[in-house]
Each structure stands twice: as structure tokens, then as C-alpha cells.
Structure 1
Amino acid sequence: MSIPAVLALTGATGFVGRSILFRLNAAGWRVRALYRPRNGRTPPELPGVEWLPGDLDDDAALNALVADTHAVIHCAGVVRGASRADFDRVNERGTLRIAQAAARQTQSPRFLLISSLAARAPELSHYAGSKWRGECALKSVAENLRWTVIRPPAVFGPGDRELLPLFRSIARGYAPIPAGAGRRFSMIYVEDLAGAVLEWLKADAGYGGVFEVDDGCVGGYDWGMVLDIAGRVLHSGAPVRRIPIPVALLNLVAYMNLASSRLLGYAPMLTPGKVKEITHADWVSDSEEFMRIVGWQPAFRLEQGLASTFEKTEYSRVTRS
């Protein structure tokens, strides 16, 4: 019986990375996962998973992570920060470091970067710019790597913290969302994103490509569609009250939050750049090319994904409190 190949994985303790880890493990892959040791953090013990302490600034750890691996799945990233440097340290330079470590191997592993649809508009925010620069960093060592980039849109599912406040509000019957019409966006359930990774591994295709993925809803969603769907799943079908938040007010709060973060030393989520992201008119993905080349198909639309999440997380507990 042959021994399964080893995969290297970063970001395995995060929302998306954890789902990828469990799917890889269930599929029989051996995984070597990088994690940053912290007080109180104990990575889950799984058969076939080797946890390697270190971070993306540690060249020795990165060399050990990628040594003799079949593929590298780079999922680690920073989504909160006050400055460009906060994001670039991981999203750009961290990507460059691990790509260089992979390229140094005698037999270079395949390399998959989980980027973001935000990289399509790098001028909007420090985060969006850092994801685009991370893609450029990967391409700078492309001669020695078979690389692929996946750009997911908004990801939701069990363990999500970014969209959780909105869904909690919907479960209570109201939805504070940015004022204004005409914005459309795609979404993807986290299990579908993990499934896309598995299909990429099986297909051994798509090298040199930057691909968008989504849940297959052609043309994406608008807020009216999201509230209708989420109301059926999270609020027993009762109407959800829409509370428009003026963009000017969002910007005021974002600037105040940014100033406070610099004074108190925390990493903010809501910043002026983030407001530009969430009020951008077009975050609609087109996953047709990835599906054609790799053979992946999404299994969850928004309604099915929310129902699954509802069963597994505190979304359901909101309605019982």
C-alpha cells in the first residue's frame, strides 16, 4: 500500500484553513500544517496531520514545512490592520517567503494561493492591495513553480466571524446594511471553497491561472436577495427589517475606529478602506473557467449554506435566546 503524499498548509487554524485541513484529512492526504504557538492555542490532534510551529517570517520553519511535499496550499492571511504594513507583512512578504521556499526545493511542489476577490481592485484598501501584491510576489518566482491562484468572494460558514454579526441581526429580524442600491456580490460557502482545493489537487491543472470561484449564482446577489434568503433560513420566513446605514456615517465610524486602534494598539476591522470594499458596486465572481479546467462544482447556494451553518453554530442559538 502506497503512503499518501504530504501537503503543506498555512493558515490551518483560521476560518478557511481549518475547513481545508479537515477536508484534506478526510480525503486521506497527509498534511504538514504551520501554526503560530500562542498561550491557550492547542491545534486539533488529527491522524495524518503534523503541526509545525513557526510563522511566515521564519525561513527555517518554511523550509521544513515545504520539504518533500507534493503541494503547498497557502491560506494564511491578515484581514485586520491599521496600515499598509500591517497587511503586507503577511499577505505580500509572507507569500513571497513561502513561494521562495517552495521554489528552492529540488522537486518544487505545486503551489496554490488562496487570495481574495478584493485583489481585483487593489486601489480600494490596504487589504485589497496587499492581496494583489501577494499574487504578484508569487508570480515573481513563477519560473520554478507550478502555481495557481484562487480568488474567493465573501466566504461564510461555521467558524465565520466577519459575517456573523449581520446574520445574528437577521436572526433577530433586522439588518443594518450600507445605504444605496445597485451593489452586487458573490458568495461562497466555506465547504465549497475547501472542495475547490481538493478538486485542484485531483485535476493537476490550472497552472499559471488566476481563477475566481463562487457558489454558482450567476450574476451574484444584491442585499434584497440576501435578506429574503436569510430571512427564510434564520428568521422562520418572517420579514427582515432593512436598516440602511448612510455611507457617510460608516466612514465617520471607520475613521474613529482607525484612530482608536492606533492609540490603543489593536488591529481594526472597520476602516475607511473596508468601507470602500463593502460599498464597491461589483464583487460578482465568474467561476466558469475554474469549473471547466478543474472540474469543480459548488454544492451549496446561499440558502443551503446558511441552513447548514444554522445547524452548526450560534446562528441557531440566537433565535432561542
Structure 2
Amino acid sequence: MIDYLVGYGCTIHALVRKTSDQRWLNKSDQVKIHVVDLEQSSPISCLEKADYLFHCAGLTKAKTRDDYFCGNVYSCEVLYERCVAIGSNLKAIVHLSSLAAAGPSAQGEAVQEKNPCKPVTYYGESKLAGEKIALKYSSLLPIVIIRPPVVYGPREENFFVYLKTLSQGWNIKIGTTRRELSLVYVTDIVRAMVRAAVCYPKNEKIYYVTDGEHHIWNDISDSAMKILNVRAKTLFIPEVLLRFLSSISEVLAWFGPKPALFDRQRVIDICQTSW
């Protein structure tokens, strides 16, 4: 997002946590870094003169449901309350949510904005709750919500791990069920967010953004192996084994400061048949 906007000559004020990984942040003079703690009551002065706000922060891994809600709901409330308090003249606020807020669909059917939301994980529940906060403030602030599916591209880590495993000769599949999913390239989601801000839609508040294609996981792995020029061996992992391993990973994580990279919530996510 920042690289894209810098390319158009914009001045960026990036709000980051003190624990944020800043290795990919553009070092251009156009980018101003502000370390912000939303748990404190101090004002965020750079919001006063901003034209657009892109709220991309979110917590994707946590130990408890409460942790997810603290990171994905409470932070929204505080940020938007600050915007109201300073009487900001923002032209648009783009709230980046997730397809997880709506939950998976039936196989062969695409989710629609009008469909009821049925999240299946704590992460999805917290993102939906964050959307409700955004909608609550939309009567006072020009907020539009974007729901992307799986995002792939440079600097994305989860998909990279899968590709790395393929390159090492292993094509890991969960069970034998056909799995479908939606995808969007990172630059495309950035372009969609900028377009939503500049052409702020006043009627509809929530939009899905995908590449417009219907993907089958087997086709994705076949295409990836062709590009990587490898013939990986297929390793089927039963869902029951996956749940067992995730439980062990989760228990071990309780003895450390960070949440498990692979826990039962993650298993619920990846075992769905149609994202």
C-alpha cells in the first residue's frame, strides 16, 4: 500500500505499534512513521490534516478469543473515536476486513455482500465485530469496508511457506476432499482500496474484492509446480491427525510469549472446502 501511494507522489503518515515489524516500510522522505499506542488516550495529530485513512492493521494469530477481539475490535473503536473527536475532514476511510468475517460458502457458490455472515473462527468473529464498529461510525465518518479472500504476492508469508514446501518436493494436501478458494494479488487489493477511497461509494458500505476467478486447490498446486519446475510427491494428511498436531502445538505455545503458528483455529480455517 505504502509503496503504491509513494509511486503516485503521496505523503504517507504510517501509524505503527512499537512492536511492529518495519523492515518492509518504504524509507522514502514521503513516508512519516508514527508509533501509536491505541490503548493510550493521547491524540493522533497527523489525522487532522489527512485526506484518506486506510485501516489495514489486524491480528491474525492469538492465544485466546479475547486477544483477537482486543486486536481487531477494540483498536477500531479507539481509532474511529479519535477521528470523530478531532473533527477530521477525511474524504474516506477504507476499513480492511476479511472474507473470514463472512465465513466460507457452499461449494460452487460465491458469497455475496447481501448473504448473512457465518464466521467459523475467532479471527473471523473478531473481524466481523470490527466491521460492526466501522458501520456504527459510518454515520459520522465516510467509511467503506473491503473484504479480501486469500492474498498472495511479495512479502506474504503463509502462501510462501506452501510454495517453499512444493519446491522441496512435497505437495501437502489435507484429506481427499475437493477444496475451492478465492484469491487476489496484493497489488490488486491495494488498487481496489485506493479506488474505494478516491471514488467513495455513498450507498453500499461493504465490498468483496477477488481476482474474479473460481480456483480449485489442485489446479493451484499443479500451476505452482509447473512454474517451479518440480514434480512434488503428494502427501495426504488426515484432518484428525491435523487436529491432534495443532492441539500439541497450541499447548506448547502456552509456555512461550507468542501464539502458536498452527493451532486448532487454523485447522478449522484450512479444513473448509470453499473459501
1:132 maps onto 2:99 in alignment: no
C-alpha separation in 1, matches of 2:205 and 2:161: 34
C-alpha separation in 2, matches of 1:89 and 1:83: 10
1:254 maps onto 2:246 in alignment: yes
Deviations 1:84-138 (A, max 9, x none): 1221111111111111222233244221111110000254111111111110111
C-alpha separation in 1, matches of 2:119 and 2:67: 16
C-alpha separation in 2, matches of 1:59 and 1:154: 34
The 3-state SS of whatever aligns with 1:77 is: coil
1:221 maps onto 2:215 in alignment: yes
C-alpha separation in 1, matches of 2:41 and 2:238: 46
C-alpha separation in 2, matches of 1:39 and 1:129: 23
**How many correspondences in the alignment?**
259
1:70 maps onto 2:51 in alignment: yes
* Alpha-carbon contact 2:62-2:68 (below 8 Å) kept: yes
C-alpha separation in 1, matches of 2:246 and 2:202: 39
C-alpha separation in 2, matches of 1:242 and 1:40: 35
1:33 maps onto 2:14 in alignment: yes
**Match in the other structure for 1:49:** 31
Correspondences of 1:1-321 after superposition (within 5 Å): 20-38=1-19, 43-61=25-43, 63-109=44-90, 110-121=92-103, 123-205=119-201, 208-217=204-213, 220-234=214-228, 236=229, 238-283=230-275
What root-mean-square deviation, in Å, do the aligned CA atoms of Structure 1 and Structure 2 show?
2.0
Shift of residue 65, structure 1, vs aligned partner: 3.8
Q: 1:206 to 1:240 in 2, by over 3 A?
A: farther
Deviations 1:176-214 (A, max 9, x none): 121132321011111111111222233232554211111
Moved more, 197-206 or 107-116: 197-206
Deviations 1:273-292 (A, max 9, x none): 11111111221xxxxxxxxx
* Alpha-carbon contact 1:148-1:207 (below 8 Å) kept: no
Q: 1:223 to 1:55 in 2, by over 3 A?
A: same
* Alpha-carbon contact 2:94-2:197 (below 8 Å) kept: no
C-alpha separation in 2, matches of 1:261 and 1:125: 19
Amino acid at match of 2:33: W
Amino acid at match of 2:185: Y
Q: 1:39 to 1:280 in 2, by over 3 A?
A: closer
C-alpha separation in 1, matches of 2:196 and 2:10: 14
Structure number having the greater helix percentage: 1
Amino acid at match of 1:157: G
Deviations 1:53-104 (A, max 9, x none): 113323425x324222111100011111110122111111111111122223
C-alpha separation in 1, matches of 2:142 and 2:20: 37
Shift of residue 171, structure 1, vs aligned partner: 1.6
* Alpha-carbon contact 1:147-1:207 (below 8 Å) kept: no
C-alpha separation in 2, matches of 1:167 and 1:207: 40
C-alpha separation in 1, matches of 2:261 and 2:123: 10
Q: What are the ranges of 5 or more consecutive residues in structure 2 without an aligned counterpart?
A: 104-117
**Match in the other structure for 2:112:** none
The 3-state SS of whatever aligns with 1:60 is: coil
C-alpha separation in 2, matches of 1:85 and 1:261: 17
**Identity %, equivalent residues:** 21
Q: What are the ranges of 5 or more consecutive residues in structure 1 without an aligned counterpart?
A: 1-19, 284-321
C-alpha separation in 1, matches of 2:32 and 2:64: 34
C-alpha separation in 1, matches of 2:26 and 2:4: 14
Q: TM-score, normalised by structure 1?
A: 0.75
C-alpha separation in 2, matches of 1:206 and 1:164: 37
Deviations 1:5-36 (A, max 9, x none): xxxxxxxxxxxxxxx01101111221111122
The 3-state SS of whatever aligns with 1:264 is: coil
Amino acid at match of 1:79: T
C-alpha separation in 1, matches of 2:212 and 2:129: 27
* Alpha-carbon contact 1:36-1:53 (below 8 Å) kept: yes
